[in-house]
Amino acid sequence: MSTSAPTLSSFASGLTTETAFDVLAVARKLMAGGKDVIALQIGDSPFPTTASAIKAAHAAIDAGLTRYCPSAGLPEFRETIARTVKSEFNIPATADNVVVGPGAKVFETYFCEAFLEPGDAVLVFQPAFPTFEPNILRRGAKPVYVPLKQENQFRPDVAAIERFVKTEPRARALFLNFPHNPTGGVATPEDLKAIANIVRGTNIAVFSDEPYCHMVWGGKHSSILAEPGMLDQCVGSYTFSKSYSMSGWRCGYMIAAPSIAQIVSKMINTSLSCVPPIVQMAGKAALEHDAAERDDVMKKFHAKVELLVNELRKVPDVTVLMPEGTFYVFPQVAPICQRLGITSHGLAMYLLEGADDKRGVACLGGECFGAAGQGFLRFSCAEPDDRLVQAVAFFADAITRTDRVKAYLDANPKYRAK
């Protein structure tokens, strides 16, 4: 009898993942072994889920809302979402523009399934959220990467979008993510207006990933979906994970033209049926009642970001901008990497695994977000303030321990800088 297994597809064999979860697994294993790890690798909130969301979920269970519901989402939740994005972001949405999903990430997949054919070209700004690429490749499409630059505050290169639209023969889609993970950059209203003017009326579909819409530190969030006519060409993706500290609830939604919303509803119907009504009622209550609690938590996040940046600016050979949004800090550490002969993700893993036997700091190397991220580290701010200060002090000391760096590279030569 044959013992061979069915052959995996080429896509499955080459599938990449979000590295933050991989590092999280390493960190938790080390913590289980007794190591003190300051966990700054993953974008999770350290704050509790907002109060009304928890109360509404209990009430939904007590009311027996434990069965299937419409694949697009509960009508009353969709109506609440539409009112919210209209009042907060000036997006002219109705319930027909809304589809509820398990977080924001799934809408990357559905967007690509809705618009992309094999061979199509998709412009992606890099550093890029790691799941953009596998979702594009799943459809046989081609990512076209354009760098975001620290000297331009990590804002989008509008001229590069215009070149892409005019010169790429199979130009089909554009991925935006602002406020930006991992850099903390924000597209200005002028940037978004210029991008809308370029793509309006073309065959270009825009995926606008906006999970950090309440983490804009210098004003209010702007969405390209609010630009005239853009609701017909865009899919906006949102989540409750950051704003309402609901990452484990898996609650999110998309905003798009009704025709696209209907298509995505079919995709949800044929893949995951629906988002649990209990979760949706929690999200509805959060939108209706928890804005003040949310905004208070956002102020706490902003203070953490400022603290971390100010501490990192004390470390020699580190260049770091004050992020315009998100709760990530993205320092440039290329001189340190060059001096130690280590890649930036190797430096991140050294801080976690090799710098000290009893303590470690978990963060991510910039190349986890693509080639344009090389020479950077990404720190989240999801730890108490004193731990943030301790993490930077540990980092500053660890990069002076050249004997430990050498030993780590000898044991892990894949992290040697080329």
Residues 84 and 59 in one domain: yes
Mean pLDDT, the chain, whole residue set: 95
136: domain range? 51-290
* Domain presence at residue 5: no
How far apart CA 130 and CA 209 sit, in angstroms, is 13
- Cα–Cα–Cα angle for 82, 128, 218, nearest 5°? 60
Residues 308 and 275 in one domain: no
Last residue of a domain, one of 290, 320, 351: 290
Residues 253 and 390 in one domain: no
* Domain presence at residue 412: no
Domain harbouring 229, CATH code: 3.40.640.10
- Give φ, ψ of 359 to 5 degrees: -135, 155
Domain harbouring 300, CATH code: 3.90.1150.10
Mean per-residue pLDDT, 83-91? 98
Residue 9 has pLDDT above 90, yes or no: no
Residue 235 has pLDDT above 60, yes or no: yes
Grade residue 161 by pLDDT with cuts at 50, 70 and 90.
very high
For the chain, how many structural domains are there in total? 2
Give this prediction's pTM.
0.94
300, 47 contact by CB (below 8 A): yes
* Domain presence at residue 4: no
Amino acid at position 206, single letter: V
Name which of 4-13, 147-156, 357-366 the model is least confident about.
Answer: 4-13
* Domain presence at residue 87: yes
The per-residue DSSP string of 110-130 comes to HHHHHH--TT-EEEEEES--T
- Cα–Cα–Cα angle for 15, 212, 286, nearest 5°? 110
Q: Which residue has the higher pLDDT, 337 or 31?
A: 337
The encoded tokens of residue 219 equal 């004003």
**Side-chain-facing half-sphere of 40: CA atoms under 13 Å:** 35
**Side-chain-facing half-sphere of 133: CA atoms under 13 Å:** 19
Residues 14 and 56 in one domain: no
* Domain presence at residue 70: yes
Amino acid at position 287, single letter: L
pLDDT given at position 15: 77
Residues 344 and 379 in one domain: yes
Residue 3 has pLDDT above 70, yes or no: no
Residue pLDDT, tens place only, 332-389: 999 999 999 999 999 999 999 999 999 999 999 999 999 999 999 999 998 999 999 9
Residue pLDDT, tens place only, 90-148: 999 999 999 999 999 999 999 999 999 999 999 999 999 999 999 999 999 999 999 99
Q: Which regions of 219-363 does DSSP assign to beta strands (E)?
A: 234-239, 252-255, 328-329, 359-362
Grade residue 11 by pLDDT with cuts at 50, 70 and 90.
confident
* Domain presence at residue 90: yes
* Domain presence at residue 2: no
**Side-chain-facing half-sphere of 41: CA atoms under 13 Å:** 26
Last residue of a domain, one of 239, 264, 290: 290
Residues 88 and 122 in one domain: yes
Amino acid at position 318, single letter: V
Residues 255 and 106 in one domain: yes
Last residue of a domain, one of 290, 308, 331: 290
- Cα–Cα–Cα angle for 271, 276, 281, nearest 5°? 140
* Domain presence at residue 279: yes
Residue whose C-alpha is closest to residue 249's, from 108, 103, 98, 104: 103
pLDDT given at position 25: 85
Mean per-residue pLDDT, 275-297? 98
Residues 356 and 321 in one domain: yes
Residues 79 and 161 in one domain: yes
Residues 198 and 307 in one domain: no
Residue 395 has pLDDT above 90, yes or no: yes
How far apart CA 172 and CA 203 sit, in angstroms, is 6
Residues 365 and 334 in one domain: yes
Grade residue 2 by pLDDT with cuts at 50, 70 and 90.
low
Percent of the chain with pLDDT over 90: 91
